[in-house]
C-alpha cells in the first residue's frame, strides 16, 4: 500500500510544502486557542504566529520553523526521502502514515539539514507536531542520529527543535530503542566538544524529552510550551488529583531547574547567535 | 501450585482429577495405577506444551506474576557476596531501584536493578518498582563508579515504567532517564542487562543500554503498556490483549526483531517455581557473556555497544522504491 502511494506521489512529484500550505484553506481571521481573541490571520502571521493579545506561541510546522530560524529560510536538507516502513505490520499503520503525509506535506515528523544563522553554519533538526503528533519512530530516530553524526563530523553546532507527544506506538520496541540510539550519538558528539542547543517547543514529552531533548548543553523552550516526561492526563489519572494549570509549562519546568531559558520567538535568532558566537572561539588564545 | 493464572486452569483441573483418583484408589483399595500413570503423562505433556505456546497476553501475566522473583532475589542467588549501596547523593534513596557491589564467581561487578516488592507493604515502599528521578540517578551514580574502577555492570530490568507523578516531573524524570541513556552509551566497562519481568518504556531502557541485552523466556519489553496502547490507539483499555499481540512484546518477538541478544529459558511453569534453578540458568549466561566481553578492549566495548543500538530501526527511501519499481 505504501508502495502504491509513493508511485502516485512520484507522479505529482516536486509539489513540495508550498503547495501543501496553499491547500489548507486559510481563514481571514484566527482565534487564539489560549485567550480566544480573534485576530487577522495576516497580523498573526506578521507577529510570527504569536497571539497579538496574550502572547501565546502557536504551534509551527517544521517548514515555518526553518523559515524563521535560518538565514533567508534556506535549508540544505538531509534525507528528505526517508520514510517509515511498517516493520511490525501494525494494524492501520500504513493507512495512518499516508494520511499524515497528505495532511502535513512531510515524509515524517522531522526535517533535518544544515543552514546558517547570522552566517554561522549549524546542523538543524526540526520536529513537526502536525505529522503523527511528532511521535518518534525509526525515521525520526535515524534522521536525528544522522544529523548528530553530521554535526560531529563537520564540527558544527547542533540545534534541535523538539515537539512530540512521545513514542510512535505502531513501531513499538523499535521506537523505544531510538531513544538509546539518539542519546548514544549525542554522547559521541559531546565527547568531541560539540555544542548542542536543545529547543523545546509545545509540547515536548515522552521518549523525545527523555532522550535528546533534555541532553542539550543549553536547554531552551518557547513560552508556555509543555515540557515533561509523562503527559498531564496520565498523571492525573494515576494520582487521582488535578494538577495546577501551569504544570509542566516551560516557565514552571525552568523554575524546577530543567531548562536554562525561556525564549520569545521574536528573540530566538538573536539568542541563538549569541550562544553560538560565545562558542565559536573556544580555544584559549596564547 | 500457588499463584495460578487463569490460563493454567486446564492443568489445575487435571491435577485435581489425578489427586481424586489416587485418593479413591486408596480408599476403595482398587488398583488404578495404570490410569494414574496415563493421566500423569498427559499432565506432563500438557504442561510442556502450555508454557511453550503462551500468547503475548499470557506472557504478560507471567511477567507481572505476584510471585515473580525480583532483582534482589536473583542478586542473592547469583552473587558470591553483595553489599547494597544507597542514594543518589542529590535528593534521596529511591527503593524502586537497588544496586551495589559484589562478586560473581570471583569477578567484581556492580549490579543495579529495578525492585518490585515481595508483598503489598514492600510494594508500597518500593512504589511497585516505578522509579523517581533519584532512582535513575542512583543507578547512574553506581554505574559511573563501576566505570571508574573498571568493573563490569549487570542490570536487572523489571518495571512498569518511570513513575508518572507530579514530583517526579518536577525533579526531572525526563532528564534523569535521558542522562542514563547517554552515559551508559559511553562506559568503557561491559554491561549486561537482563529483563527479568516487565520492561516498561523509558524507565526500563534507562538501565538497558548494554552490550548484551537478554530476556527471560516469559518476560516482556515494550514502549508502552499494552493497556495504555489500547486506550490510546483504540480508545478501549479492554483491548489490551489485542494490543499485546500487535506490539510484539515477548522475548521471542524481540529476538526476531534483533533488539535483544538472547533468551534465557525459564523453569517449567515460570521463574517463580524455582528461583534457585532459575538463577543458575542466569548465572551461566552472565558468566558466558562476561568472559567474552572482558576479553575486548575498551574501544571495542564502547563501539560494540554503540553499533548495537545504532543499527536498530526500519526505514526506506522513496527514491529506492522508485528505482525498484521502474
Ligand atoms: Zn491569545
What distance in Å separates residue A210's CA from the closest CA in chain B? 4
Q: Which helix (H) or strand (E) holds B58?
A: helix B56-63
State pLDDT tens for residues B170-209: 999 999 999 999 999 999 999 999 999 999 999 999 999 9
Per-residue pLDDT band at B1 (split at 50, 70, 90): low
Distance A210 CA to ligand 1 centre (A): 30
Q: Which residue of B has its CA nearest to A230?
A: B164
Taking a contact as any Cβ pair under 8 Å apart, which residues of chain B between 178 and 217 contact chain A?
178-179, 181-183, 185-186, 201-202, 205, 208-209
Considering only the beta carbons, identify the residue of B221, B313, B321 that sits closest to A181: B313
Q: What dihedral angle (degrees, nearest 10) is formed by the CA atoms of A213, A219, A225, A231?
A: 40
In this model, does residue B55 exceed pLDDT 80? yes
Among B140, B164, B206, B240, the residue to mutate for chain A (most A Cβ within 10 A): B164
The answer on pLDDT for A70 being more than 60 is yes
**How close, in Å, is residue A279 to chain B by CA atoms?**
22
Question: What share of chain A has pLDDT > 70, as a percent?
Answer: 90
Distance from CA of A254 to the nearest CA of B (A): 9
Beta-carbon separation of A181 and B309 below 8 A: yes
CA distance A250 to A203: 10
Average pLDDT over residues A192-196: 97
What spacing in Å lies between the alpha carbon of A52 and ligand 1's midpoint? 7
If one counts every other C-beta atom within 10 angstroms of the C-beta of residue A258, the result is 24
The answer to whether A147 and A112 are in contact (CB under 8 A) is: yes
Ligand 1 centroid to residue A255 C-alpha, Å: 23
What pLDDT digit, counting tens, does each position of B305-323 carry?
999 999 999 999 987 665 5
- Residues A151, B225: Cα–Cα separation, whole Å: 35
pLDDT of residue B210: 98
Are the Cβ atoms of B170 and A256 closer than 8 angstroms?
yes
A140-150: burial string, b at 16+ Cβ within 10 Å, e else: bbbbbbbbbeb
**Across residues A265-270, what is the average pLDDT?**
97
Interface A:B, Cβ pairs < 8 A? 197
Of A82, A174, A187, the CB nearest to B317: A82
For residue A27, name the pLDDT band (cuts at 50, 70, 90).
confident
Distance B77 CA to ligand 1 centre (A): 61
What per-residue string of b and e applies to B311-325 under the rule 16 or more CB within 10 Å gives b? ebbbbbebeebbeee
Q: Shortest Cα distance from B25 to chain A (angstroms)?
A: 54
Asked if B166 and A247 come within 8 Å (Cβ–Cβ), the reply is yes
Per-residue pLDDT tens digits for B119-173:
999 999 999 999 999 999 999 999 999 999 999 999 999 999 999 999 999 999 9
Q: How confident is the model at residue A8 (pLDDT cuts 50, 70, 90)?
A: low
A179/B205 Cβ within 8 A? yes
- Taking a C-beta distance cutoff of 8 angstroms, is the pair A180, B181 a contact? yes
Query: Are A169 and B224 within 8 A, CB to CB?
Result: yes
**Interface touch A210/B169, C-beta < 8 Å:** no
Q: Is B248 on the interface with A (CB under 8 A)?
A: yes
- Provide ipTM, 2 decimals: 0.94
Flag whether residue B173 sits within 8 Å of chain A, measured between CB atoms: yes
Q: Which residue of A has its CA nearest to B179?
A: A215
Express each pLDDT in A199-248 by its tens digit: 999 999 999 999 999 999 999 999 999 999 999 999 998 889 899 999 99
Question: What is the phi-psi region of residue A113: left when phi exceeds 0, alpha when psi lies from -120 to 50, beta otherwise?
Answer: left
pTM over 0.90? The answer is yes
Interface mutation vs chain A, best among B161, B208, B223, most A CBs within 10 Å: B223
Q: Which of B114, B92, B197, B106 is nearest to B151 (CA)?
A: B106
CB-based contact B318 A6, cutoff 8 Å: yes
| Alpha-carbon distance A43 to nearest alpha carbon in chain B (angstroms) | 36
Q: Which of B107, B125, B108, B106 is nearest to B117 (CA)?
A: B125
- Per CB-CB distance under 8 Å, the chain A contacts of B172 are 214, 256-258
Average pLDDT, chain B: 94
Query: Which residues 6+ apart lie within 8 Å of B186 measured at CB?
Result: A187, A191, B302
| Nearest beta carbon to residue B181 from set A7, A179, A248 | A179
CB spacing of B162 vs A229 below 8 angstroms: yes
CA of A90: which chain B residue's CA is closest?
B246
3-state DSSP of A132-180: HHHCECHHHHHHHHHHHHHHHHHCCCEEEEEEECCECHHHHHHHHHHHH
User: Is 80 exceeded by the pLDDT of residue A15?
Assistant: no
Those residues whose C-beta lies under 8 Å from the C-beta of residue A129, and which sit 6 or more positions away, are A59, A109, A163, A164, A165, A202, A203
A-interface mutation test, from B166, B168, B249, B260, most A Cβ less than 10 A away: B166
Could you tell me the three cell numbers for B219? 518476560
Amino acid at each position: 500500500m505504501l508502495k502504491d502511494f509513493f508511485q502516485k506521489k512520484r507522479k505529482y512529484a516536486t509539489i513540495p510544502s508550498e503547495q501543501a500550505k496553499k491547500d489548507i484553506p486559510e481563514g481571514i481571521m484566527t482565534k487564539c486557542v489560549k485567550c480566544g481573541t480573534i485576530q487577522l490571520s495576516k497580523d498573526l502571521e506578521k507577529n510570527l504566529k504569536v497571539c497579538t493579545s496574550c502572547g501565546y506561541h502557536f504551534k509551527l510546522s517544521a517548514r515555518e520553523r526553518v523559515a524563521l530560524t535560518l538565514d533567508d529560510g534556506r535549508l540544505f536538507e538531509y534525507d528528505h526521502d526517508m520514510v517509515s516502513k511498517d516493520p511490525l505490520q501494525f494494524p492501520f499503520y500504513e493507512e495512518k502514515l499516508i494520511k499524515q503525509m497528505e495532511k502535513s506535506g512531510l515524509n515524517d515528523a522531522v526535517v533535518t539539514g544544515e543552514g546558517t544563522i547570522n552566517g554561522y553554519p549549524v546542523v538543524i533538526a526540526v520536529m513537526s507536531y502536525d505529522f503523527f503528533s511528532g511521535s518518534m519512530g525509526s525515521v525520526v530516530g535515524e534522521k536525528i542520529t544522522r544529523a548528530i553524526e553530521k554535526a560531529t563530523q563537520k564540527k558544527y553546532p547542533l540545534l534541535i527543535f523538539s515537539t512530540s507527544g512521545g513514542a510512535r506506538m505502531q513501531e513499538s520496541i523499535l521506537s523505544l530503542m531510538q531513544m538509546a540510539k539518539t542519546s548514544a550519538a549525542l554522547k559521541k558528539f559531546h565527547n568531541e566538544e560539540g555544542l548542542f542547543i536543545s529547543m523545546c517547543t509545545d509540547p515536548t514529552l515522552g521518549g523525545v524529552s527523555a532522550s535528546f531533548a533534555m541532553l542539550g548543553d543549553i536547554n531552551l523552550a518557547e513560552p508556555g510550551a509543555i515540557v515533561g516526561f509523562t503527559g498531564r492526563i496520565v498523571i492525573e489519572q494515576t494520582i487521582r488529583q488535578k494538577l495546577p494549570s501551569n504544570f509542566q509549562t516551560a516557565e514552571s519546568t525552568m523554575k524546577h531547574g530543567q531548562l536554562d531559558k525561556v525564549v520569545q520567538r521574536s528573540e530566538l535568532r538573536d539568542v541563538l547567535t549569541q550562544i553560538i558566537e560565545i562558542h565559536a572561539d573556544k580555544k584559549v588564545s596564547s | 501450585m500457588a499463584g495460578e493464572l487463569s490460563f493454567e486452569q486446564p492443568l489445575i483441573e487435571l491435577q485435581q482429577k489425578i489427586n481424586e483418583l489416587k485418593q479413591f484408589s486408596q480408599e476403595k483399595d482398587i488398583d488404578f495405577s495404570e490410569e494414574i500413570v496415563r493421566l500423569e503423562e498427559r499432565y506432563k505433556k500438557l504442561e510442556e506444551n502450555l508454557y511453550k505456546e503462551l500468547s503475548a497476553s499470557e506472557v504478560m501475566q507471567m511477567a507481572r506474576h505476584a510471585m515473580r522473583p525480583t532483582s534482589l532475589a536473583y542478586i542473592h542467588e547469583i552473587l558470591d557476596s553483595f553489599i547494597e549501596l544507597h542514594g543518589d547523593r542529590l535528593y534521596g534513596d529511591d527503593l524502586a531501584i537497588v544496586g551495589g557491589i559484589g562478586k560473581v564467581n570471583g569477578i567484581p561487578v556492580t549490579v543495579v536493578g529495578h525492585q518490585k516488592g515481595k508483598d503489598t507493604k514492600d510494594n508500597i515502599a518500593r512504589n511497585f518498582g516505578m522509579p523517581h528521578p533519584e532512582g535513575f540517578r542512583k543507578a547512574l551514580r553506581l554505574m559511573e563508579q563501576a566505570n571508574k574502577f573498571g568493573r563490569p555492570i549487570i542490570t536487572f530490568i523489571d518495571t512498569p515504567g518511570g513513575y508518572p507523578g507530579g514530583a517526579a516531573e518536577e525533579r526531572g524524570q525526563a532528564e534523569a532517564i535521558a542522562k542514563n541513556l547517554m552515559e551508559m552509551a559511553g562506559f568503557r566497562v561491559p554491561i549486561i542487562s537482563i529483563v527479568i519481568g516487565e520492561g516498561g518504556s523509558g524507565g526500563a531502557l534507562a538501565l538497558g543500554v548494554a552490550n548484551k541485552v537478554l530476556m527471560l523466556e516469559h518476560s516482556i519489553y515494550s514502549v508502552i503498556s499494552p493497556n495504555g496502547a489500547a486506550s490510546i490507539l483504540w480508545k478501549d483499555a479492554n483491548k489490551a490483549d489485542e494490543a499485546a499481540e500487535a506490539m510484539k512484546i515477548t522475548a521471542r518477538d524481540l529476538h526476531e526483531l534483533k533488539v535483544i541478544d538472547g533468551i534465557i529459558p525459564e523453569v517449567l511453569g515460570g521463574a517463580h517455581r524455582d528461583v534457585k534453578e532459575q538463577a543458575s540458568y542466569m548465572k551461566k549466561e552472565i558468566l558466558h557473556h562476561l568472559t567474552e566481553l572482558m576479553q575486548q578492549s575498551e574501544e571495542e566495548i564502547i563501539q560494540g555497544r554503540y553499533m548495537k543500538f545504532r543499527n536498530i530501526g526500519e526505514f526506506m527511501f522513496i527514491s529506492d522504491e522508485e528505482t525498484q519499481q521502474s
